[in-house]
Amino acid sequence: MDMKVSKKLGLKERYTMMTRDLAWDTTFQPMDKVFPQVGYEGIKIHDWDKWEDPFRLTMDAYWKYQAEKERKLYAILDAFNQNNGHLSVTDARYINVLKLFLGSTPPLELMAARGFSMVARQMVGAGPRVACMMQSVDEYRHFQTQIHSISNYNRFYNGLDEFAHQQSRMWYLSDGKSFFDDAITAGPFEFMVAIGFAFEYVLTNILFVPFISGAAYNGDMAAMTVGFSAQSDEARHMTLGLECIKFMLEQDPDNLPIVQRWIDKWTWRGTRKLASVGMMMDYMLPKRIMSFKEAWEIYFEQNGTALFTDLARYGVKVPKCFGQTIEEKEHITHQSWIGFYMKPDACPFHTWIPAPDELDWLSEKYPNTFDKYYRPVLEHFDRQEKAGKRFNNKTQPMNCQVCVSTIKFNEPGDPMEMCFRETVYKGEKFHFCSDHCKEIFENEPEKYVQTFISSHAALQGKCEPEGTDVNAHDYRPGARMHAYWRMDKRATGDFNGSEDQKNFAKWRAQATKN
């Protein structure tokens, strides 16, 4: 008699059947040949089965939820575009936020998509493989929905049209590029700490919450919807990053120093990258949400402290740079905006001197630093601009060999002094923006001597538009940077007097007059 009892599977059991039970240890090919990358970074994993799935989403459920989200998202985008929604943003200065965002973010989402495919291929455990692959397709979603939401703006405003060409060429985009290039060329575990943990867990909120609320406050339904729609994906990404850290730390005590070094490194690298997000919050949003300093306090200091308190039981310490970032939060956004203002010919978005009430807002939000150090500079530039002597810095910047940002940040403890470090490796001198970047270099000099620094590369003739004859007698390296960047002149320089400003005013008047 058949006594087989109908088994009811629990949720966890069922998910196991649907994922890790599919996998097996290969025998015709050795496991270390099938998964060749999991050993060389020094991380020791003894039992992949100990991986705790951070979420349990089978593909049918995934497709169901994601399809619902996409249907809503694209319906809103279509309606926004049809109704000329771009004319409902606060003022045309806001569109420069989108220019900065389109150049810097979708290309990095794409790198995340590719990077997670790579890690998904290399992880031995079925649990992390599935979660990474799911994140990979989520990241495809993010870069595409971001492009789709901004695509309509590109039809009406300047400076958005060459983002794909500029992603690997533009000097100010190379900090983000170097960040992701660094992560993707590292091994799978370091990638997980860099992107899965430092970026997704520690820093993502400060990147996306201000951007999404900024869009909402400034009437950009398209970008706001895209941002909100990505939030539930990000929640999954955050749990994956955290689980990966915990898994490594629980597997072997020898993993701790390696993981700690990565946490220190990637938190710092991420922090440097966020200077431009802060600049957007403090200077570029016509209607402000909160200052970068306030956001940093909530999303980094408070949440970060809670996170690292939680991780203390594994022996993890607060990232080394924590103290320095707290000091810098009152400076970096001003230094960044001033830096961009000073180079009006070299970026495809507009800059401006904040209006008097905006300067007052900055004084209020930055009582320790703004009036003392930055207001005088901005007011000086304003006077010069009005006198027809607009400041224009045409010199090549000095860049940090690690984070690639222009060396412009101040010496810790001394806001009047520029921080500058250097080291000599194999007879060659390398420059850094900070002690942290110098230390990252010294840990892996063979990697960081390779950094692509466009100001150096340009002088070596490596940044020339197609068809340049480098042997011509009148050839001067770097003289044709605008062509190399495919920079639209109309997109550069001051917002005041720009085509964007005029068109927006004209169109908005047409759309609002009765």
Partner 1 sequence: MSMDLRTITIEPLRQTFGHLARRMGADKPASRYMEGTMDLQPVENYHYRPTWDPSHDIFDPARTRITMKDWYALKDPRQFYYGAWTLARGRMQETATADFDLADELGLATGYPAAGKKVINEVLLPLRHVAWASNINNSAVAAYGYGIAISQAAAYACMDQLGIAQFITRLGIAFDEIDALAEAKQDWLEAPVWQGLRHYVEDMMVMDDWFELFVTQNFALEGLLFPLIYDKLTDRLNAAHGPVLSMLTRFQREWFTENVKWVDAVLKAAAADNPANKALLGEWIAAARQRSVEVLTPVAELAFGTDGAAVLDEVVQQLNARAAKAGIPV
DSSP string, 10-44: PHHHHHHHHTGGG----SSS-HHHHSTTSSTT---
Among the candidate windows 138-146, 430-438, 472-480, 494-502, which touches Fe ion by CB under 5 A?
138-146
Neighbouring C-alpha atoms within 13 Å toward the C-beta of 305: 7
Interaction with Fe ion in 92-111: which residues (CB under 5 A)? 109
Decide if 433 contacts 404 (C-beta within 8 A). Answer: no
- Characterise 475 by phi-psi region: left (phi > 0), alpha (psi -120 to 50), beta (else): beta
Q: Tell me, what amino acid is at 155?
A: R
How far CA 268 is from CA of 103, 234, 325, in Å, comes to 22, 21, 8
Interaction with partner 1 in 301-360: which residues (CB under 8 A)? none
**Closest approach of partner 1 to the CB of residue 140, in Å:** 5
**Closest approach of Fe ion to the CB of residue 40, in Å:** 26
Exposed/middle/buried for 332, CB within 10 Å: 0-12, 13-18, 19+?
A: buried
- Characterise 493 by phi-psi region: left (phi > 0), alpha (psi -120 to 50), beta (else): left
Among the candidate windows 171-179, 197-205, 396-404, 496-504, which touches Zn ion by CB under 5 A?
396-404
CA torsion angle 162 166 170 175 (round to 10): 120
Among the candidate windows 25-33, 292-300, 307-315, 431-439, which touches Zn ion by CB under 5 A?
431-439
Q: Which of 44, 56, 114, 320 binds partner 1 (CB under 8 A)?
A: 114
**Closest approach of Fe ion to the CB of residue 273, in Å:** 14
Among the candidate windows 45-53, 340-348, 397-405, 455-463, which touches Zn ion by CB under 5 A?
397-405
Q: Which pair of tokens denotes residue 372?
A: 């003392």
CA dist 246 and 77 (Å) reads: 39
Decide if 131 contacts 53 (C-beta within 8 A). Answer: yes
Interaction with partner 1 in 83-102: which residues (CB under 8 A)? 83-85, 87-88, 90
The contact mask relative to partner 1 for 453-492 (x = CB under 8 A, - = no) is: -x--x----------------------------x------
Q: Which of 99, 236, 237, 331 binds Fe ion (CB under 5 A)?
A: 237
Decide if 401 contacts 437 (C-beta within 8 A). Answer: yes
Q: Identify the helix (H) or strand (E) that includes residue 189.
A: helix 188-191
Find all residues with CB under 8 Å of 414, minimum gap 6, and list them.
Answer: none
Query: Is the Cβ of residue 165 or residue 372 nearer to partner 1 in the bound state?
Result: 165
Q: Which does 219 bind (CB under 5 to 8 A by kind): Zn ion, partner 1, Fe ion, none?
A: partner 1
**Closest approach of partner 1 to the CB of residue 439, in Å:** 17
Q: Which of 215, 222, 433, 487 binds Zn ion (CB under 5 A)?
A: 433
**Closest approach of partner 1 to the CB of residue 355, in Å:** 18
**Closest approach of Zn ion to the CB of residue 402, in Å:** 5
**Closest approach of partner 1 to the CB of residue 407, in Å:** 17
The contact mask relative to Fe ion for 141-180 (x = CB under 5 A, - = no) is: -x--------------------------------------
Of 406, 458, 413, nearest to 432 (Cα)? Answer: 406
Q: Which of 12, 34, 50, 364 binds partner 1 (CB under 8 A)?
A: 34
Among the candidate windows 117-125, 232-240, 332-340, 385-393, which touches Fe ion by CB under 5 A?
232-240
Query: Is the Cβ of residue 313 or residue 426 nearer to partner 1 in the bound state?
Result: 426
Among the candidate windows 109-117, 220-228, 314-322, 401-409, which touches Zn ion by CB under 5 A?
401-409
Q: Which of 437, 481, 487, 491 binds Zn ion (CB under 5 A)?
A: 437
Q: Which does 437 bind (CB under 5 to 8 A by kind): partner 1, Fe ion, Zn ion, none?
A: Zn ion
Q: Which does 237 bind (CB under 5 to 8 A by kind): Fe ion, partner 1, Zn ion, none?
A: Fe ion
DSSP string, 437-476: HHHHHHHSHHHHTT---HHHHHHTT-S--TT--TTSTT--
For position 70 contacting partner 1 by CB under 8 A, the verdict is yes
Find all residues with CB under 8 Å of 217, minimum gap 6, and list them.
Answer: 90, 285, 287, 288, 289
Give the residue carrying structure tokens 């958005």.
160
Q: Which of 81, 117, 251, 396 binds partner 1 (CB under 8 A)?
A: 117
Query: Is the Cβ of residue 67 or residue 235 nearer to partner 1 in the bound state?
Result: 67
Interaction with partner 1 in 139-198: which residues (CB under 8 A)? 140-141, 143-145, 147-148, 151, 154-158, 160-165, 167-169, 174, 177-178, 181-182, 184-187
**Closest approach of partner 1 to the CB of residue 393, in Å:** 23
Long-range contacts of 65-72, Cβ-Cβ distance < 8 Å, separation of 24 or more: 65/232, 66/141, 69/229, 69/232, 70/141, 72/225, 72/229
Q: Which pair of tokens denotes residue 361?
A: 């807002």
Give the residues across from 429 on adjacent strands: 424
Positions that interact with Zn ion (CB under 5 A): 400, 402-403, 433, 437
